[in-house]
Amino acid sequence: MLRLGFIGAGAIAEVHADAAQRAGSAIAGFFDADLQRAHTLATKYNAKTATSSLATLLASDCDAVVVAVPNYLHREMAVAALSAGKDLMLEKPMAMNLAECDAIIDAARSGSAGPRIVMLNFVCRSSPAALSAQSLIETGRLGRLYHVKASIYRRRGIPGLGRWFTTRSQSGGGVLVDIGVHVIDLALTLAGSPAVERVSGHVTSTFGAPIDRYRYTEMWAGPPDPRGVFDVEDGAVALIRLAGGITFELNVTWAANLPEGTLPTGMTLLGKKGGCHFDVWGSDLTLTTEENNAVVDLKQQLPLASEAWPSAWQRQHEIFATAVKSRMQPEASMACGRAVQATLEAIYRSSERGREVEIES
């Protein structure tokens, strides 16, 4: 049984711990700078370690750790865990920039305990909708993909306004880093992981200042802090050119100012033989393809759709436990995390320069 330690004892660590327990892993301990938070989760999961000392957690009998802390701490915590010989599940984004991604990669490959297993928690890959779309691609129902579109339009949903989510020095960015990361990874995965070649992007920051005047309908990681910082983007669009002639269109916003459902949210895949659309966390998938020499429109009801969120998280931890046991790197690899980071940086760079840019290696 895999014994997991947790770096961070906040809300996302609790989601991980629930999923890991369902996947059959043991919860070994929690580290958090706030000792009370570590004690609270350790008590809930009957973990024997609760500490405000990272060294204490890493010296415990956990086999692997989950890094579930704000983005600016990812590199520091990941490198420390890997240097201590621990395998690693790392929350998205991989790090704050490409240099930090490379530091994590170096630590994973060069530790005294040998190469470590590192998995990025790109949980959207494990949603029932994404798995069904992947099956359609693999069985040839869509033919060769030529275009992918990812759109997520929140009505009014800036997370933790004035806190670390909206403070660039701690988050690395805004809506692109919060939700764009997930759909960029999913789009690249469904397209067959082609190289990103060129990017034309534009980001906007419209709604969050002044903080005390923003009216919201949902608030993850809140409540708002009116004394805090809002220096990140709340909207982004991009056209991304991938190797093999595939194009990828990205639209993400924290505050679309539209009723829910006005614009379709989710992933659209266009192929030579067919196309499909799905909400990543939805209950069905729409498919247009060829059957019996005719074009048909089909709606597929998805398995586990009513439990899409918990089932996807559980599957992520099952994949991670299998990777650790087999010593085989998972598909959601460090290279995937780095490719997403390179894409993010290219979108920001394109927006700043006002033109298309090439991806930087």
Does residue 137 belong to any structural domain of this protein? yes
Map tokens 């910082």 to a residue.
Answer: 229
Report the pLDDT value the prediction gives residue 331, as an integer from 0 to 100: 97
- CATH number reported for the structural domain that contains residue 18 in this entry: 3.40.50.720
Domain total for the chain?
2
3-state secondary structure the chain: CCEEEEECCCHHHHHHHHHHHHCCCEEEEEECCCHHHHHHHHHHCCCCEEECCHHHHHCCCCCEEEECCCHHHHHHHHHHHHHCCCEEEECCCCCCCHHHHHHHHHHHHHCCCCCCCEEECCHHHHCHHHHHHHHHHHCCCCCCEEEEEEEEECCCCCCCCECHHHCHHHHCCCHHHHHHHHHHHHHHHHCCCCCEEEEEEEEECCCCCCHHHCCCCCCCCCCCCCCCECCCCCEEEEEEEECCCEEEEEEEECCCCCCCCCCCCEEEEEECCCEEEECCCCCEEEEEEEECCEEEEEEEECCCHHHHHHHHHHHHHHHHHHHHHHCCCCCCCHHHHHHHHHHHHHHHHHHHHCCCEECCC
112 plus 156 within the same structural domain? no
61 plus 141 within the same structural domain? no
Q: Give whole-number Cα distances, 357 to 180, 193, 248, 294, in Å.
A: 19, 20, 15, 41
Does residue 280 belong to any structural domain of this protein? yes
Domain range enclosing 62? 3-116
279 plus 165 within the same structural domain? yes
208 plus 65 within the same structural domain? no
Last residue of a domain, one of 95, 116, 137: 116
Map tokens 């982004």 to a residue.
Answer: 236
* Residues 344 and 184 sit within 8 Å (Cβ to Cβ): yes
260 plus 194 within the same structural domain? yes
> Can you give the length of the chain in residues?
361
Question: Residue 151 CA to chain centroid, in angstroms?
Answer: 15
Does residue 317 belong to any structural domain of this protein? no
Last residue of a domain, one of 116, 149, 165: 116
146 plus 98 within the same structural domain? no
Q: Mean pLDDT per 10-residue run, the chain (361 residues)?
A: 97 97 98 98 97 98 97 98 97 98 96 87 98 97 97 93 95 97 98 98 92 87 91 97 98 93 94 97 95 93 90 98 97 98 98 96 78
- CATH number reported for the structural domain that contains residue 218 in this entry: 3.30.360.10
